[in-house]
Amino acid sequence: MVGVVGLGTMGAGIAEVFARAGLRVIGVEADPEALARGRGHLERSTGRAVDRGKLTGGERDEILGRITLTTSRDDLRDADLVVEAIPEILDYKVSLLEDLDRICKPETVLATNTSSLSVTAVAAATGRPGRVVGMHFFNPAPVMRLVEVVGTVVTEPSVVAGITELSVRLGKTPVTVGDRAGFVVNRLLLPYLNHAAVLLDLGLAGRDEIDTAMRLGVGLPMGPFALLDLIGLDTAYEIMGVLFDETRDRRHAPAPVLRELVTAGLLGRKTGRGFHGFHGFPGDETAPREPERVAGVTFGVAGDDTSSIAEALVKAGFAESDDPDVLLRLSDRPVVEHAVRVRRPSSLVGVHLVGDQVAELAATVLTSPEAARAAAGLMAAIGRTPVPCKDRAGFVVDALLYPYLNDAVRMYDSGYASIADIDAAMRLGCGYPAGPFEMIESLGLARVRDGLRALYAEHREPAYAPAPLLDQLVTAGMTAFPRP
């Protein structure tokens, strides 16, 4: 029998996962109101599965029938495993673990679903630190296939092995790691999300543009702001705080806009509003934009490999000109240096094609609003989603992606996790189409290294300097990471 303490979004999802695997579950909440909310989560989630034809009504009843809900922790005395999923506040977790240690039989394994707090600190609150382990699920727990199993220096190896086996029985893929803030996924994911919030605050691009660029350009299931809203901005804020405390890396300081939204009670999906549903961000859907009118606009294309875009525009009915309304400068670097060399700098717009669907459009300080709008219209006319942004190193996608990839290389090089585990964790924990090492290899090691150098040159941010391992592999002419 398994206990789950805390039936918020994550706890209820975890209880559902156990019950779906045929285990009996006792779900515990602090008071009757919270318990009713937990019951609501369980009923909605399983009801949705029935609506989609994934479960029959009978199966749903069986799953819910395996879950007993209670407000009494004492009901956990005979549990073999208790997973806590209460808010990310160390004092709360420590006091809960002290209680569970007193209530549960000595052999019960106590697991924490903490996202970033020290499992060791939680374990030390009990008289059984060897039987305390991290069991970190991902939101939505019934869907995401990863479980990070976190062993501390004192966790008994048999406990880690048991939780790993159990995770497989739950239909999950376990990745076993040591106790460092953020483990694998949150250590790589949250700085990327925080960075997106910082870039939004700096006005690099609008909220929806950044979300779209990462979804359509990189193939991520959600853009960073949609994902922040799913995770909960309070949770994201807490995790960033813990990461910052451990690393003192200023990139890990929570973005000011996160603090503002959290203070205002706009926590994301759980409160109905967060980055989305908030009136006022650039790119908010509440201010629908007119489709750009581009009939009759003339264009020019400069840079490398201009033929395919020129052909597509001509095919779409636009005329190429020597003195065009819009001069599209293909580049993966800022384009202002090109703008100052052309006859009409106000007509020049930087274009960075990302994948098959996205065109990042960099307006320089000299670009006219008309040329910027026309460039967006031209890209839409050839089937690419325009992502208007400022003329900065990396534009949107590379500025967000490359530091994340660099962090993954540093993590591997530190010996914390293997390439295979890091790749699997990001694919299965976040639904990414590929892990960071797979992404670097498909983009090209040299391209990522050079992109990082450009980001470093612009921002002088030490963390953007290419990881020494990446740099050395490129120097050695390698196109893939060595795998054992």
Rule CB under 6 A: is residue 118 a binding residue for ligand 3HC?
A: no
Q: Which is nearer to ligand 3HC, 111 or 335 (CB)?
A: 111
- Residue from 19, 204, 227, 330 touching ligand 3HC (CB under 6 A): that is 227
Q: Catalytic residue at 346?
A: no
Contact 80, 109 (CB under 8 A): yes
Instruction: Return the ∠ at Cα 207 (arms to 206 and 213), rounded to 5°.
Output: 85
Token look-up 């941010």 returns: 461
186 contacts ligand 3HC (rule: CB under 6 A): yes
* List 6, 129, 142, 324, residue binding ligand 3HC (CB under 6 A): 142
Nearest to 482 by CA among 428, 437, 417, 450: 437
Piece in contact with ligand 3HC (CB under 6 A), picked from 346-354, 374-382, 391-399, 425-433: 425-433
Count of residues that interact with ligand 3HC, criterion CB under 6 A? 21
136 catalytic per annotation = yes
Q: Specify the length of the chain in residues.
A: 484
The nearest distance, CB 45 to ligand 3HC, in angstroms, is 5
Question: For 340-348, which contacts have Cβ atoms below 8 Å and span 24 or more sequence positions?
Answer: 340/366, 346/371, 347/300, 347/371
Of 440, 422, 433, nearest to 220 by C-alpha is: 433
Query: What is the biggest distance separating any 2 CA atoms in the chain, rounded to whole angstroms?
Result: 82
148 included as an active-site residue: yes
CB of 197 to ligand 3HC, least distance (A): 15
**Shortest distance (Å) from residue 18 CB to ligand 3HC:** 14
When asked if residue 115 is in the footprint of ligand 3HC (CB under 6 A), the reply is yes
Q: Which of 110, 149, 231, 397 is close enough to bind ligand 3HC by CB under 6 A?
A: 231
From candidates 32, 33, 43, 54, binder to ligand 3HC by CB under 6 A: 54
Residue 479: exposed, middle, or buried by beta-carbon count in 10 A (0-12, 13-18, 19+)?
exposed
Distance CA 27, CA 5 (A): 6
| Residue from 148, 209, 238, 360 carrying the catalytic annotation | 148
Q: Is 45 in the site for ligand 3HC (CB under 6 A)?
A: yes
| Crossing angle (nearest 10°) for helices 233-247 and 185-201 | 110
Of residues 186, 331, 347, 406, which has the active-site annotation?
186
338 and 363 in contact (C-beta within 8 Å)?
no
> Measured from the CB of residue 228, what is the shortest distance to ligand 3HC in angstroms?
9
Which of these segments, 91-99, 137-145, 370-378, 382-390, binds ligand 3HC (CB under 6 A)? 137-145
Q: Stretches 45-53, 150-158, 371-379, 475-483: which one binds ligand 3HC (CB under 6 A)? A: 45-53
The two tokens of residue 260 are 């503002």
| Cβ distance to ligand 3HC smaller for residue 142 or 466 | 142
The active-site residue, picked from 16, 29, 45, 115, is: 115
Member of 143, 161, 202, 314 binding ligand 3HC (CB under 6 A): 143
User: How many angstroms separate the CA atoms of 39 and 21, rounded?
Assistant: 18
CB-CB contact of 428 with 187 (8 Å): no
Q: CA–CA separation, 254 vs 116, rounded Å? A: 14
Site residues, ligand 3HC (CB under 6 A): 45, 48, 52, 54, 115, 138-140, 142-144, 186, 189, 221-222, 227, 231, 235, 429-431
List the catalytic residues: 115, 136, 148, 186
